[in-house]
Amino acid sequence: MEKKLIDRIKDKSATIGVIGLGYVGLPLAVEFAKAGFHVTGFDILADKVKMINAGKSYIDDISDDHLTSVVKSGYLRATTDDAPLANMDCVSICVPTPLSKTKDPDISFILASLDWVRKHLHRDMLIVLESTTYPGTTVEVIQPKLEESGLKVGRDFYLAFSPERVDPGNPVYTTMNTPRVVGGTTKKCTEVAKLYYEQVIPNIYPVSSTQAAEMVKLLENTFRSVNIGLVNEMAVMCDRLGLDVWEIIDAAATKPFGFMRFYPGPGLGGHCIPIDPHYLSWKLKSLNYYARFIELAGDINSHMPEWVVDRITSLMNKQGKAVKGAKVVVLGIAYKRDIQDVRESPALDVIRLLENLGAKLKYHDPYVPQIKWHDGLLKSTKLTATLLSDADLVVIVTDHTGFDYQWIVDNARLVFDTRNATSKVTKNRSKIACL
C-alpha cells in the first residue's frame, strides 16, 4: 500500500486536496498545481470558491495570472462540496485556529474539516494538518477520530503534522522556498509526508513526532512574541528616560553576535504571533505550569495600542488641544506593510480607543478600501494634501512602502509615527513625534 502511494506521488498521479483556501491553503494548492498535480481546493465560503474558479485571487501573495494559469490548465479547481475528498490521495488541512474570547484554543474549524475527511477516509490516504495548534492535537484529537473508521494509522492511512510558515507580503520567502518541518504519527507517516512536500518544497526537515512538529511552530512564534514584547517595553522605558528607542536599537545591532534586531510598534497583528503562543500557554496550564514569558509578553503587546493612544493624548495636550473633537487621520490599518490583511491589526484598537475619547477619525489605506465597523462600514478616505492639512494629527500605524513620507510630513500639522517610517524624512522634522 505504502509503495503505491509513494509511486503516485513520485509520478504526480496522486490527487491533492487542500481544505481551507486562505493565506496558507491557496498558495499551497497553487504550488502543487504548478508542479503538475491535480489539486482540489475545499472551502465553506462559496464566494472564495467562485473567485478561484474564475482565476481571481484574494490573496496578496498569489497573482491573478498565476491563479488563472493553473485553473485554466485544469490542475486546480475549488469546491464547497466535500464529496471529492473520496478521490483524494493526499489532503492538507489549512483552516484557521483562532482563540476564544477567554484565549482558549478554538479548534472547531479543524474538527469540522476532520468530519469531512473522516466521512471519505480510505486506505492509502495521507492526511496532514498544517493549522497551528497545541502539542498533542494530531494524536489526541485527529488520530482517534479517524481510527473510528476501523482503519489504522501507519498501516491503512498516514497522518502527519507540518506547520505552515506563511509570511504574507514577504517578497523573499514564499511557500516554495521556506523550509518545511514534518512530523508523522509513525516513521512511515513521516516518510510519506516528507516525500509529499518535497514535490514542491526542496528543503524538508523531519522531526520525531507530530507533537515535536506542533511545538516547533509554537516556539517560532513565541520567540517572536517575547522579543517584540521586550522591545515594546524598551520603547516605553526609553520614552520615560527621554531616549530614542530607534537609535538604541540601531546602535545595539552593530554588535555582530548575541543580538537580533526587533522593532517596537503599536501592537501585534496577523494570524500567528498574537495567537499562537497562547496555544502553548493553554496547554501548559493543563499540566499545572504557568508560562510566564508568554503571558507577560502577551500582556505587554496587547496593551501597546493603549500606550499609543496615551502618547497621542499627551501630544495633543502639548499642542493645547483635547483629543475629544480633534480630527485624526490614521495612515494604514493592515496589520503589516503592503498587504490587505487586517486580522488582529492594532490599528483597529487604536481607532476604537480614539473614537471612545471623542476623536473624529478618518483612515487611509491603499490596500484596505473598507472594513466592517460597528453596524456598518468604515471606508478609506482618499489621501490628499487637504486631508492631511485639515487634520490635527496624522498617525502612521502601518508603514506601507507606497507612502511618500516626506510629502505627508510637509502637508500635515503634526505626525505621530509608530513605525519609524519617517526616519529618512529630512525636512520639517519638528512636526514628527516617534513611538
Positions annotated as catalytic residues are 272
DSSP string, 286-310: TTT---HHHHHHHHHHHTHHHHHHH
- The grid cell for 250 is 540601531
Pairwise CA distance, residues 347 & 332, whole Å: 7
Sequence-separated (6 or more) residues with CB below 8 Å from residue 420? 246, 263, 399, 434, 435
Residue 179 has φ and ψ, to the nearest 5°, of: -55, 145
Cβ neighbourhood burial of 230 (10 Å; 0-12, 13-18, 19+) = middle
Sign, Cα dihedral of 197, 198, 204, 210: positive
Extended beta strands in 175-326, E state: 180-184, 204-206
DSSP symbol at 80? S
Question: Residue 186's CB: how many other CB atoms inside 10 A?
Answer: 17
Pairwise CA distance, residues 391 & 153, whole Å: 62
**Collapsed DSSP state (helix, strand, coil) of residue 27:** helix
DSSP symbol at 19? E
Q: Which residue has the cell 510519506?
A: 192
Pairwise CA distance, residues 178 & 173, whole Å: 6
Strands 370-373 and 376-379: antiparallel
> What kind and span of H or E run contains 147?
helix 143-147
Cβ-contact 132, 164 below 8 angstroms: yes
Pairwise CA distance, residues 132 & 427, whole Å: 46
Pairwise CA distance, residues 162 & 175, whole Å: 12
